[in-house]
Amino acid sequence: MSASPSGPGTSRTRSWWGWGYTDAHPDDAECVALGALLPGTLARPLPVPRVADLKIGRPGVTLPAALAHLVTTDPDARAAHAMGKAYRDVIRALRGRPGRIPDLVARPTDDREVADLLDWAGGQGVAVIPFGGGSSVVGGVEYRGDTHRAVLSLDLTSTDQVLEVDTVSRSARIRAGALGPVLEAQLRPHGLTLRHFPQSFEFSTLGGWLATRAGGHYATGRTHIDDFVQSLRVVTPAGAGTSWRLPASGAGPSPDRLFLGSEGALGVITEAWMRLQERPRHKASASAAFADFGQALEAVRAIARSDLSPANCRLLDPGEALLSGASHHGSSVLVLGFESATAPVDGRLASALELARAHGGRGGRPAAAGDAPADTAVSAWRSAFLRMPYLRDGLARMGAVVETFETAATWDRVPALIDAVRTEVGSAAFKATGNPATVNCRLTHVYPDGAAPYFTVAVAGRPGDEVRIWDDIKAAASDVLHRHRATITHHHAVGRDHRPGYDLQRPDPFALALRAAKDALDPHRILNPGVLID
């Protein structure tokens, strides 16, 4: 069993503590250059952490012989499954204080093995944490309690096959552990695609997307993975079940809805029938710059309410635009993209650009697919988007506190919400560190009735105090969201970090029903304890 799993079809090594592949991490010199952008950071980067320096104890349990071949106690594997990939996780690893290291890492290959592991864990009082790509940014894959005898990380990535493709209904049965590139590679020969591209696509799985209701590539329309689900198969401690494959159904509350977003607390999603799409053949993109962010918001609202349905409609505020290289002139930048499998999209792009211009947008030379990029803002934004998580870790090595959070609210609240986050989170960061902070905003997903603002905070921390500083900043952020009735998360999920905000947001009778579902499906309370429900 590989401790630091390699990427599909590659021998590259995954980082146990930071984002992505180790060979893509910024080196020390790049870290220093990054740190120079943020006043008050360290002179030298923190060393890259080593598993050998962690105090990893012996596992607290042993498995019966019939299950022993499914697990490893290898320290590298255990360390790589201790936490997700939030800033909070990265800095704890850098400071040599990762979360609780799981006792065992299991890699079942079928539903029977998942059920056997759950049976055994239930009898032993062992916590089981379903683990897909481990890209959670909300503390979703770590154990924070002390009431279980031991912790087993249930890594599903050995179940990664596309099992059936139904070209008549254009859907496929896919096992939950498939990482994004793995499942897309298996769909490509059929000319089909799931076309769900979260920023974490390379290192996250179908099961993780379903369990967290991930938000993908589409900026409008079908934004969440939920929109592509036909049916789910779930193995719970109380038994396994599969919902019917249906294009739609009005038969009572949806069984799939119970498990979508259940974050490993109610059952293990082992496979799903997913709606697919033809691969897009027509693509066009362009950007428009705005001197005024408020006007840019109005332009986006107009586009979201039109029937143009852009695949990409990201509004970057001046700070985000500068950071990604999309504008160096203090402008906000709207990145627009259209795609279709059947018809050219240039007309829709032109109409969207007209709406942008009607609200003060400038520029907007379209870049056709395959051409040299006519619009450098679009290509600059794309490459920065993929590189950003690596740069975050480089900045963390320089002692910076740098993290993102996201939300959604109705349009009537969006402008005031963004202003309040900038002001209040900026002052909380200054109060916590004594250093000036940047708080940037982009809109990632837009709807006719509202939008999903996504914020990036960066500030030089105080050595050794970074986790507390981030927790203070995050508490201030959650407070602003709550006061503006903006959701605690649009797509990053609840995990452990968003529990207080989630508890305030959900109606009491719903919390009761969720608790009852937990009691029924997980009577020994072994599944991802602390997530969604106490």
Element holding 92 (H helix, E strand) = helix 87-94
- 268 in a known ligand binding site: yes
If one asks whether residue 137 binds ligand FAD (CB under 6 A), the answer comes out as yes
Residue selected from 184, 202, 263, 339 as contacting ligand FAD according to rule CB under 6 A: 263
Binding mask 368-407 for ligand FAD (x = CB under 6 A): ---------------------x------------------
- 145 in a known ligand binding site: no
Q: CA 47, 51, 56: angle at the middle one, nearest 5?
A: 135
User: Exposed (0-12), middle (13-18) or buried (19+): which is 446, by Cβ within 10 Å?
Assistant: buried
Q: Please report how close the Cβ of residue 476 comes to ligand FAD at its closest, in angstroms.
A: 22
Q: Please report how close the Cβ of residue 392 comes to ligand FAD at its closest, in angstroms.
A: 8
Residue selected from 141, 272, 345, 460 as contacting ligand FAD according to rule CB under 6 A: 141
DSSP state of 38: S
Report how far apart, in Å, the C-alpha atoms of 464 and of each of 89, 92, 427, 484 are: 14, 9, 21, 33
- 133 in a known ligand binding site: yes
Distance (Å, whole) CA 111 – CA 92: 34
CA 322 to chain centre: 23
If one asks whether residue 489 binds ligand FAD (CB under 6 A), the answer comes out as no
Question: Quick one: which segment of 144-152, 212-220, 367-375, 499-507 binds ligand FAD (CB under 6 A)?
Answer: 212-220
CB 486 within 8 A of CB 493: no
Q: Decide: helix, strand or coil at residue 148.
A: coil
Among 102, 196, 188, 195, which Cα is nearest to 141's?
A: 102
Q: Which residue's structure tokens are 């499998």?
A: 341
If one asks whether residue 204 binds ligand FAD (CB under 6 A), the answer comes out as yes
DSSP state of 227: G
Catalytic residue from among 87, 218, 454, 502: 454
If one asks whether residue 140 binds ligand FAD (CB under 6 A), the answer comes out as yes
Give, as ranges, the residues between 294 and 323 that touch ligand FAD (CB under 6 A): none
If one asks whether residue 337 binds ligand FAD (CB under 6 A), the answer comes out as no
If one asks whether residue 268 binds ligand FAD (CB under 6 A), the answer comes out as yes
Question: Quick one: which segment of 53-61, 129-137, 237-245, 358-366 binds ligand FAD (CB under 6 A)?
Answer: 129-137
Q: Which residue's structure tokens are 């990029």?
A: 373
Report how far apart, in Å, the C-alpha atoms of 110 and of each of 165, 175, 179, 234, 288 are: 19, 9, 16, 12, 49
- 275 in a known ligand binding site: no
Residue selected from 26, 102, 130, 363 as contacting ligand FAD according to rule CB under 6 A: 130
87 flagged as catalytic = no
Give, as ranges, the residues between 2 and 61 that touch ligand FAD (CB under 6 A): 19
**Would you state the structure tokens that stand for residue 464, as one six-digit string?**
């050794």
If one asks whether residue 186 binds ligand FAD (CB under 6 A), the answer comes out as no
Question: Quick one: which segment of 6-14, 101-109, 125-133, 315-323 binds ligand FAD (CB under 6 A)?
Answer: 125-133
Residue nearest to ligand FAD according to CB distances in the complex: 208
If one asks whether residue 139 binds ligand FAD (CB under 6 A), the answer comes out as no
If one asks whether residue 84 binds ligand FAD (CB under 6 A), the answer comes out as yes
Judged by beta carbon, residue 288 or residue 532, the one nearer ligand FAD is 532
Size of the site for ligand FAD (CB under 6 A): 38
Q: Please report how close the Cβ of residue 512 comes to ligand FAD at its closest, in angstroms.
A: 22
Sheet bearing 104-106, strands edge to edge: 71-72, 104-106, 150-155, 126-131
Judged by beta carbon, residue 83 or residue 439, the one nearer ligand FAD is 83
Residue 220 backbone phi and psi in degrees, to 5? -135, 165
Question: Quick one: which segment of 9-17, 31-39, 203-211, 347-355 binds ligand FAD (CB under 6 A)?
Answer: 203-211
Judged by beta carbon, residue 242 or residue 376, the one nearer ligand FAD is 242
Distance (Å, whole) CA 224 – CA 218: 8
If one asks whether residue 187 binds ligand FAD (CB under 6 A), the answer comes out as no
If one asks whether residue 269 binds ligand FAD (CB under 6 A), the answer comes out as yes
If one asks whether residue 134 binds ligand FAD (CB under 6 A), the answer comes out as yes
If one asks whether residue 135 binds ligand FAD (CB under 6 A), the answer comes out as yes
Among 52, 141, 68, 166, which Cα is nearest to 108's?
A: 68
| DSSP letter for each residue of 435-481 | S--EEEEEEEEEETTEEEEEEEEEEE--TT-HHHHHHHHHHHHHHHH
Distance (Å, whole) CA 163 – CA 158: 14
Count the helices and strands in the chain (H runs, E runs): 16, 19
If one asks whether residue 199 binds ligand FAD (CB under 6 A), the answer comes out as yes
CB 454 within 8 A of CB 404: yes
In the annotated binding site for FAD, the residues are 130-136, 263-269
Please report, as ranges, the residues that interact with ligand FAD according to CB under 6 A: 19, 84-85, 129-137, 140-141, 156, 176, 198-200, 204-205, 207-209, 211-212, 214-215, 263-264, 268-269, 389, 491-493, 528, 531
The residues that are catalytic are: 454
Binding site for substrate, by residue number, is 392
**Binding site: residue ranges?**
130-136, 263-269, 392
